[in-house]
Structure 1
Amino acid sequence: MESREAPEGRSSPVWDPEQYARFAAHRARPLADLLARVPELPAGTPRIADLGCGPGAPSSRISARWPHAHVTGYDNSPAMLRRAETHAGPTADGGRLDFAAADLAGWRPDTPHHLIVSNAALHWWPDHPRALPAYVDGLLPGGVLAFQVPGNFDAPSHVLLHRLRNAPRWRGRLGAAHRGADVLEPAGYVAALAGAGCETDVWETTYQHVLPGDDPVLEWTKGTALRPVLTLLADDPEARDAFLAEYAAALREAYPPGPYGTVLPFRRIFAVGVKR
């Protein structure tokens, strides 16, 4: 799930599961690649946490990988959790999938876990690397912490959004510091996980998403990075539409459409730590 925090001192963004699901196949690919690198879990019925579960479909994929596990998806969005509940229930091999509300910045395992997963969520609260040792402490020996975070905060989609939010017309309502300062480079996650007592497997991938339709990069960001803006302008449709028109024009120039669609390069950083 991609997005978990409003600008400093402002209310949390309101999430739209339908908008987020518009590019579900593209958003699912990083989770599949992450889970493919998770090694065998410790013996016993797996206890698994999915931090930032979003609309629940990603947690279902985790349950499908470990159908005898008890998987709990955690999120702080009521809208996402309502959608996630449609996936809750017993799983194919005697396991269970359920969901719970949680402030992920303060979440800690209440019982030893076999696996803690986070798919595009950790980057949405400040200083998330400091939480990694606590997550590792909550694992059984041989347990796994696996996560991926966007590494694209210098991409045009983010730079243009930051620039527009802080332009004279908008900065009084929307101004915010550039995001992503707390996302580490791959070597930083190696150091953080190794220092927490893990064997590490860390890598990066830049996906070349080919998106169909008109203004697809705008539609992509409406499901993630634009949520704080859309929330802040929700009571002013005229201003919202004006902001989106300016942002869409800038995105069309940065990501020109081709005869096969619009290419959105998207860099992601992956980390898997196995507790020694």
Structure 2
Amino acid sequence: MIRTIDELRPDARAVAQGFLDAATEATRRGLRSDVRADLTAHLCERLRSSATLADVEEVLAGLRPDDLAARAGLGWPSGLRPRGLLTRIAKIWWRPSDPRLLLPRAVGLGWDVNLGAVAVRLQLIEPDAEAVPFTSTREAAFRLAAALPVALAGATALHYAVRGRSLPPRLASHWDAGGRPDRWVSKERAALIDIGATAGAAALAGWAAVTASVGPTRAAALAGATMAATLGASVTVARPARGGVWLNPAMLTALGAGVGGVLLGLARAGRRVEIDRDLGNR
């Protein structure tokens, strides 16, 4: 993996630059910078500084016409393509080899936090810990990670089962920038929404724990399930409270810690497998 095209040998760099120039020129004007960055990242992830001209041409040949059309704005926008959605989420949410904290969103428009870069800055993982994260992670680690969304779903259901009668008839459903409730919903509807959201997250986590899909797909599914379950459980706790300036930061912290912790644990589990393999322990 390289960080910039400039690290390539002169002949290989010339071909790569020519491809990027041609692809950018064929793109809608407003999307050109995003398309060039997307394609450049694609090449950098798959090439080394010692790559030959043939290596570059092989990577370029792997870009299917529909991929190029999407990047050029002629099909699905890059953040809305349904194909490979979970794998794309994993690559955006967890890319420790990329020092950027914000990356183009995996779903929709805007920016996502690169939790891998955050982990590197906190010295929790090395930027080159895994060539392709989550590909060596063991089954046990995926099943363990699925326990968090399942536990949060159970806790949410238990909350309404135990405290349901003592809760006020109306509960908060929205909070302003200062963390103060400004919209309300009936207690019954709140229970239906919160239990349904966390139960759906638990189901997704269960699928990720047993599916035969590749590691990045499973990691992304578990990260998404953890996010949905954490959000649902956090809202459940916040609904009967008065709110305050602490509410929004607390929810964001819970989301970041939950999703980041799951991805970090899966990545480190995969790294341990690779280390054992290199040392001949397996």
TM over 0.5: no
Question: TM-score scaled by structure 1?
Answer: 0.26
Larger proportion of helix: 2
Larger proportion of strand: 1
Question: TM-score scaled by structure 2?
Answer: 0.26
More RCO (CA 8 Å, sep 6+): 1
Please say which structure displays the higher CA radius of gyration: 2
